[in-house]
Chain A
Amino acid sequence: MLQLDDVHAYYGKSHVLHGVNMRVRPGEIVSLLGRNGVGRSTTVKAIMGLVAMKGSVLFKGEELAGLESHKIARRGLGYVPEDRSVFPTLTVRQNLVLGMKSRRQKGRWNIDDMFTLFPSLRERADTAAGVLSGGEQQMLTLCRTLMGDPDLIMIDEPTEGLAPKIVAQVGELLEEIKNRGVSILLVEQKLTIALAISQRLYVMGHGQIVFEGTPEDLRSNSTVRKEWLEV
C-alpha cells in the first residue's frame, strides 16, 4: 500500500534521512520506533510532502514524491503531526469539519462517531479548540484527520505526554481505526502500545532503518532494544 525506497530528506543543507526503505501493507498497523531526533517525524513529513526529499514513495502503486501535500492527502493519506496543531481560534466542531476534504464528503467516519468515541469533545463542541487540554487537543487532531477518511493514517507520537488512562483510550481508538479498514503507520518512542497492537515494527537510528520485524522478533532481540531504543 505504502512503499518507501531509498528516501533521503533535507532541512536546508542538513541531510537528515539517509536512504529509508519501508512498507505498510493494506490493513496493517506498522510502528516506526526510535529515540528522539533519529528522523521518525521527518520520515512521515517526507511522505506527506512537507520536507525536501529524494527517493521514491509509492502509495497504492502511484508515485507521491514531488506532489504538493494537499494532493497527497487527496490520494487518501492522513497525517496527524506530533505538535497537536489544532486550529486554536476555531471551535472543536469547525476543526472537525475542516478535516473533511469537501462539504459533503462521506466516508467511514462522521462527526457523531468522533463524539461517541470521545464524549468530552461533544461537550466542548462549540468551544474554541485552543482552550482544550493537551490530551483533548491530541484527540481532536486525530479525529480531524479521520474526518478526511484516509485509507492510511500516519500518527506521530499520539501518546506523548498523555495520562496512562488516555493512552489506553488511544490504543483502543487505533484498534477501531484498523477495524474500519484503515492502515496505520504509528510513530512512537515507547514500546507499550506499539508492541501490543502492531503487526510489524521498524526501528530507526541516525536517519536509517536499523531493524525490521514482528513484535516477537523485537521482544526477543535485546541487542536492538538496548542499542537503539532504551534510554
Chain B
Amino acid sequence: MEFFLTSLLNGLSYGLLLFMLSSGLTLIFSMMGVLNFAHASFYMLGAYFAYQISSAIGFWPALVIAPLVLGLAGALLERYGLRTVHKSGHVAELLFTVGVALLVEEIVPLIWGRMAVKYAIPRELDFTLFSLFSTSFPAYRGFMLLVSVGMMVLLYVVLTRSRIGLIIQAALTHPEMVGALGHNVPRVFMLVFGVGTALAGLAGVIGGNAFVTEPSMAAAVGSIVFVIAVVGGLGSLEGAFIASLVLGIIQTFSVALDYSLSDLFAGSEVALLHDEALRSLFSIRISQMAPMIPYLVMVLMLIFRPQGLMGKRE
C-alpha cells in the first residue's frame, strides 16, 4: 500500500513534468502545424543552464532566469528561423527543427562534456517530506509537483480567461480570421512558441536535478513527449494531459515493479517452464521492460485509435 502511494505520487510528479513539456509542444503544433523536434532540446538546455547558473548564484535565481532566457531564445528562433523557413512548407519546417535538435545535441557535450554534470537538488529541499513505513517521499518531488500544478493552473487561467488566451484559442481554429480582425497572428505565434520553450526550459530546470543532466536527456525525454503527443491526439491539450499522467505513472510503476512472469507462476510447476527459450522470456522483469512501454502504448494506440485519445480524425 505505501509502495503504491509513493509510486503514485512519484508518477504524478513525473507525469506533470511531462505535461509541462507536451503542453507547449501541443500548443505549437495545433497553431502552426509544426511538430517541433527541438522541443526537448529546450528541456535539456533548461537543465544545463540551471546547472550553470545555480553553481554561480544559486538554484532559486536559476529557476527564474533559465526559463526566461530559453523563452526568449525560442521566440527568436520562431521569429528569425521558423518564420523564414515556413515559406518553404511544412517539411522544411520539420527538418529545420530536427536540425536545431541535432545542433543542440552536438553543442552541449562540447561545452559541458559527455558525462553527466553534477546538477544537484538545492540543499533547502534535500530532505524527506514524509515516510510511510519503509518508503520515503523526497521534498523535492513535492516541490516539482507544486511547480507543475502551479504552471498548469496559470496556463489554464491565461488560456481561458485572458484576452490573449482567447486570441490563442481562436487562432487555433481560424488563424486567417483572427488576422483579418486586426490581431497580429505572427506575433501570437512567436509568443506561444516562446512560452512553450520557456515551459520546456522550466521542466528542465526542475527535472534535470531530480533525474540526470546529461547530453542524452533530450533524446530520451523527446521520444516520450513525442509518444504523448501521438497518444493524446496531436494538437489536443486535454489528450496530452491525460497521456502525460498515464505514461508518467505507468513508467514510474514499471520501473519500481521488480516482478517477472515466472514469479507469477512460482510454486506451481508449469510444464512450459522447462522450455529454455520460454523460461528466459518469462524471467524478463517488468522493470527491464519499462523503457519500451511508452512505445508499446503508442503502437497499440495507432492500431486501435489512430487519432489518439482526444484527437479529431483528419
Contact = CB atoms under 8 A, between A and B. Distances in A.
B169 interface: yes
A11 to B, nearest CB: 14
A15 interface: no
Contact of B181 (A89, A94, A148): A148
Given A81-B177, A87-B174, A101 B182 contact: yes
Max chain A Cβ within 10 angstroms of own Cβ: one of B174, B178, B180, B182:
B182
A94 B166 contact: yes
Given A98-B166, A98-B167, A103-B163, A73 B182 contact: yes
B184 interface: yes
A105 B248 CA distance: 46
A127 to B, nearest CB: 15
B79 interface: no
Interface in A63-113: 68-70, 72-74, 79, 81, 85, 87-90, 94, 97-99, 101, 103
B58 to A, nearest CB: 39
B180 A69 contact: yes
Interface of A: 48, 50, 68-70, 72-74, 79, 81, 85, 87-90, 94, 97-99, 101, 103, 144-145, 148
B174 A73 contact: no
A88 B178 contact: no
B170 interface: yes
Interface residues of B, number: 18
A50 B174 CA distance: 13
A98 B185 contact: no
B186 A68 contact: yes
30 contacts: A68-B179, A68-B184, A70-B181, A70-B183, A73-B179, A73-B180, A73-B181, A73-B182, A79-B180, A81-B177, A85-B174, A87-B173, A87-B177, A88-B173, A89-B169, A89-B173, A90-B166, A90-B170, A94-B166, A97-B163, A97-B166, A98-B166, A98-B178, A98-B183, A99-B181, A101-B182, A101-B183, A144-B181, A145-B181, A148-B182
A74 B185 CA distance: 13
Contacts of A74: 182
Given A73-B180, A81-B180, 13 more contacts: A50-B180, A70-B180, A72-B180, A74-B182, A81-B177, A85-B174, A87-B169, A87-B170, A88-B173, A90-B169, A94-B166, A97-B163, A101-B182
